Amino acid sequence: MPIITLAEATYTLQRNHLVAIPTETVYGLAGNGFHEGAVQKIFEWKKRPLFNPLILHIKNEEYLNEVAQDIPEVAHELAKCFWPGPLTLILKKRSHVPDIVTAGQSTVAVRIPHHEMTLALLHLLDFPLAAPSANPFGSISPTAAAHVEKYFGERGLGILDGGVCDQGLESTIIGFNHDKPILYRYGSLASEEIEKITGPLHIHHRNDSSPVAPGMLSRHYAPNTTTYLSDHIPELIQSFDGLKIGLLLFAKPFTNFPVHHQEILSPSGQLNEAARNLYAAMHRLDLSESDVIIAERFPNTGLGITINDKLERATKK
């Protein structure tokens, strides 16, 4: 596996090549966020449509002024509470942030990742890192170096191995409309936590007037195997008589019928543990040679809302 050191990552990024970086959410495919050519490569490698803007990763809150301006007071409050951490803020961009980063929009997405290795890397660089999740567009996000290797190893991508991602789901994205916070994407930071500071959040829907947002493209995070999300697993299993079934379950194993492969995300029923294990379990299920995957719907609270949102996108046809 092309695991690289911090020094190699620094050198590679300074030469405007790409590197995979660990974060507390998922691994990122990173390049110099101030260099158009580097950012162009990110889109090409991921086969990502150019209309889908990227997140800039910065080293500290002072650096925010280098990329954004006219920052609402409530954005500063959120940054104070949750950075470094799994919260992305969409703010008015400074003019020198390349248009390719923001897909031509006047706003830029920014966050400070909570991972020691990537923070050390950012301190060695004099530019922010543009980084989407390190997976081909539409596939399951990587939460371990081995997942990145599976996707981009053949291309010789250097990977900073920071272990398994702590949170395991993408950052929560908040934008502002006349300083009023709007939830753009459910993520690792439960929306209830944010609402303790902001009060009830308005949810951005895709057919609102603004351009396409976040993991909001409806099919996303998808395994190659056909996947269903269900509250009625026994009935669904019976309807697939004769097929090899893979199950993705919250806490309890399924014992009524033999199945081909089961993944239990948190035997003790903890949503944060389930979130951390979700993508790795989806990667394993995809490799398990099941004919179909059936995922159990999660309790619709806290991170359960985020998990259901990801599963719904994984099961969209």
Which 8-state DSSP code applies to residue 33?
A: T
Distance CA 264, CA 227 (A): 16
Complex with ligand TXA: residue 108 or 285, whichever CB lies closer: 108
Complex with Mg ion: residue 222 or 274, whichever CB lies closer: 222
- Nearest distance in Å: CB 91, ligand TXA: 8
Interacting partner of 213 out of Mg ion, ligand TXA, none (Cβ under 5 to 8 A depending on kind): ligand TXA
Kindly report whether the peptide bond that precedes residue 49 is cis, defined as omega within 30 degrees of 0: no
Interacting partner of 162 out of ligand TXA, Mg ion, none (Cβ under 5 to 8 A depending on kind): none
- Nearest distance in Å: CB 89, ligand TXA: 10
Interacting partner of 245 out of Mg ion, ligand TXA, none (Cβ under 5 to 8 A depending on kind): none
With H, G, I as helix, E, B as strand and everything else as coil, classify residue 138. coil
How many residues comprise the chain?
317
Q: Which stretch binds Mg ion (CB under 5 A): 96-104, 129-137, 257-265, 266-274?
A: 129-137
Helix 6-14 vs helix 116-124: crossing angle, to nearest 10? 40
Q: Which stretch binds Mg ion (CB under 5 A): 103-111, 127-135, 205-213, 228-236?
A: 127-135
> What residues line the site for ligand TXA (CB under 6 A)?
23, 25-26, 28, 52-55, 86, 88, 90, 102, 105, 107-109, 113, 131-133, 170-171, 173, 184, 213-215
Contact 91, 71 (CB under 8 A): yes
Interacting partner of 293 out of ligand TXA, Mg ion, none (Cβ under 5 to 8 A depending on kind): none
Interacting partner of 145 out of ligand TXA, Mg ion, none (Cβ under 5 to 8 A depending on kind): none
Interacting partner of 143 out of Mg ion, ligand TXA, none (Cβ under 5 to 8 A depending on kind): none
- Nearest distance in Å: CB 115, ligand TXA: 10
- Nearest distance in Å: CB 170, Mg ion: 6
β-pair partners for 93: 68
Complex with ligand TXA: residue 110 or 271, whichever CB lies closer: 110
Interacting partner of 23 out of Mg ion, ligand TXA, none (Cβ under 5 to 8 A depending on kind): ligand TXA
Nearest-CB residue for ligand TXA: 132
Complex with ligand TXA: residue 28 or 246, whichever CB lies closer: 28
Which residues 6+ apart lie within 8 Å of 158 measured at CB? 2, 3, 4, 8, 9, 12, 19, 20
> Element (H or E) spanning 234, and its range?
helix 233-239
Q: Is 210 exposed, middle or buried (0-12, 13-18, 19+ CB in 10 A)?
A: middle
Outline where DSSP puts E strands in the chain. Answer: 19-21, 28-32, 55-57, 68-69, 87-93, 107-111, 129-130, 158-159, 172-177, 180-185, 202-203, 227-230, 245-249, 261-264, 292-296
- Nearest distance in Å: CB 276, ligand TXA: 13
Sequence letter at residue 160: L
Q: State yes or no: residue 188 binds Mg ion (CB under 5 A).
A: no
Q: State yes or no: residue 133 binds Mg ion (CB under 5 A).
A: yes
Q: Which stretch binds Mg ion (CB under 5 A): 52-60, 128-136, 173-181, 242-250?
A: 128-136
β-pair partners for 56: 110, 130
